[in-house]
Amino acid sequence: MPRELKPLMVMGTSSGAGKTFFVTAILSILRDMGVDAVPFKAQNISLNSAVAEGGEIAYAQAMQARAAGAEPSVLMNPVLIKPEKGSSHIVVMGKHYMTLNPRDYYREDVHDSLFRIAIEAFNELQKKHELVVIEGAGSPAEVNLKDIANVEFSKAVGAKNILISDIDRGGAFASILGTVNIMGRRGLIGAVLNKFRGDEGMLRPAYRIMSERYNIRILGAVPYLPLMLPWEDSADNLPSRGGKVRVGIVKLPHISNFTDFYPLYKIKELGISFEELPDPQGYDLTIIPGSKVTVHDLIQLKVSGFDEMLKNAVLDGRWIMGICGGLQMMGKRVIDRVESGIGEIDGLNVLEAETVMEPVKKVRNVEGTIIAKGMEGIPISGYEIHYGETVSPSPFAVIRKENGMHVSRPDGSQNAKVFGTYLHGIFENEDFTLSLVNTLRNENGLDALRGPIYLGHDKEIHDASEAIRNGVNLAFIFEAIGLKP
């Protein structure tokens, strides 16, 4: 007889409190326990997305699905908001739904429609699985906004709630109390302190006060674990570090899918810097990443003089790479009457390539083989999420599979040390990344590295799970949702 489990919802006292981290770890723990659990987030605001069954979802929910041992599905993130220049690109059930300014997004008719869609997606997931673990969005205490992803949703599906607070920011107990007073106590199991540094014994008196005076159970504390999992939705604090080989990543105004660069942090002695205007002469490799609004970011780079710096670096023999929007910018021209409506614009002109934006977004998982000189024959896989087609007389790779179907088509463009590709997740390909990094190391007189250098997110998820097992009263949480060992 199947277990009757109540949905578990994880909310936070603020953005960045650790909701994504906690849900990912809990799903891994439940998987180890033999529970068929899957993630769900009614609405996510993020420029980091991934390909799932049915279309496009937030990268975080795709990662959580894999931690749960499930295939990512659009049911797990029915509403994805991708901020653009003065508006937001709204993805519903994996497909572009509409583009709205923030005020229109919060209209009552839009709210009601999206809320209904989110409930239907959740109900379908719940029919297929034993347990749905729901991640809230931002804070549930934003009293000025209509909210489809927190308290209203929790009440509609009868979820039991956990509240996460980032104690590293300070004021965690006040944040918990204030949030609970605003959101209410219906379904509340308790609160968890995240990113704690120090002796938890010193927190015990506060646990007692929160319970006796305010009737809020503190379920435990999770230690501070730096660089645990890829960043979800903010490019404001992307980490930089020094190293013997230097990689400069252009922090575009509308940078997207910056999760692409997470694997680079696993590589020994690799320096990484995110800059709005990096001088490619100062780096061994400069990368132009994806952009939500390619033409607007291209214009900004040209206004700032980056195009001249880039051309000088190419003449000097520096390595330059573009991913998705970065690839499009690096060509001779972009013709865009779809995304920006600007029309034809000259590119950075460091690749023999031309891009024409098209009205239908391409969302697909792909596999292929590199044909660029020096990397010939290296297999690669990843995913594409973009408008437009890029044509080049010298492709970077050949795509052999697209969403599991056999194809044969070119990808990207290359010219000696300058190359671009549409493949997000390309640095997760061990052979490609090792080849590129070792080429850079060789040019700097350093010994080659040996793999493995990247093992997905398995280690981080394991470490997060162990930290939660050791620091949080999971037995109390599981009993609250009807799950008994």
* Gap between the Cα atoms of 260 and 426, Å rounded: 7
b or e along 158-170 (b: 16 or more beta carbons within 10 Å of the residue's beta carbon)?
Answer: ebbbbbbbbbeee
112: CB partners within 8 A, 6+ apart = none
Nearest by Cα to 437 from 221, 206, 426, 255:
426
Residue 324 known to be catalytic: yes
Q: Under a CB-based contact definition with an 8 Å cutoff, are residues 179 and 19 in contact?
A: no
Q: Under a CB-based contact definition with an 8 Å cutoff, are residues 65 and 38 in contact?
A: yes
3-state secondary structure of 379: strand
pLDDT recorded at residue 1: 39
Helix (H) or strand (E) holding 314: helix 306-315
pLDDT recorded at residue 237: 66
Q: Under a CB-based contact definition with an 8 Å cutoff, are residues 430 and 453 in contact?
A: yes
Whether residue 2 is predicted with pLDDT greater than 70 in this model: the reply is no
Whether residue 193 is predicted with pLDDT greater than 50 in this model: the reply is yes
Convert the pLDDT of each residue in 18-39 to its tens digit. Answer: 999 999 999 999 999 999 999 9
Tokens of 101: 């300014």
Nearest by Cα to 287 from 303, 299, 270:
270
Which of 129, 254, 386, 424 is catalytic? The answer is 424
First to last CA, the chain: 15
Residue type at 87?
Answer: S
245-443 and 8-229+460-480 share a CATH fold? yes
Convert the pLDDT of each residue in 39-55 to its tens digit. Answer: 999 999 998 999 999 99
CA dihedral 178, 180, 184, 189 (to 10 degrees): -170
3-state secondary structure of 36: coil
pLDDT recorded at residue 228: 59
Q: Under a CB-based contact definition with an 8 Å cutoff, are residues 216 and 191 in contact?
A: yes
Angle at 141 between CA 135 and CA 146, to 5 degrees: 80
Q: Where are the domains of the chain?
A: 8-229+460-480, 245-443
pLDDT recorded at residue 147: 87
pLDDT above 70 coverage of the chain, percent: 97
Which of 89, 296, 324, 386 is catalytic? The answer is 324
pTM value? 0.92
More confident residue, 456 or 419: 419
The CATH number for 8-229+460-480, chosen from 3.40.50.10320, 3.40.50.10860, 3.90.1010.10, 3.40.50.300, is: 3.40.50.300
pLDDT recorded at residue 485: 67
Convert the pLDDT of each residue in 336-353 to its tens digit. Answer: 998 788 899 999 999 999
* Gap between the Cα atoms of 478 and 480, Å rounded: 5
Q: Does domain 245-443 have CATH number 3.40.50.880?
A: yes
pLDDT recorded at residue 174: 96
Convert the pLDDT of each residue in 341-392 to its tens digit. Answer: 889 999 999 999 999 999 999 999 999 999 999 999 999 999 999 999 999 9
3-state secondary structure of 96: strand
Sole residue written with tokens 């906690």 = 22
Residue 129 known to be catalytic: no
Whether residue 229 is predicted with pLDDT greater than 70 in this model: the reply is no
Whether residue 227 is predicted with pLDDT greater than 80 in this model: the reply is no
* Gap between the Cα atoms of 449 and 460, Å rounded: 22
Cis amide leading into 452 (omega within 30): yes
What does the DSSP 8-state code read for residue 426? G
More confident residue, 227 or 462: 462
Q: Whole-number mean pLDDT of the chain?
A: 93
Q: Under a CB-based contact definition with an 8 Å cutoff, are residues 249 and 283 in contact?
A: no
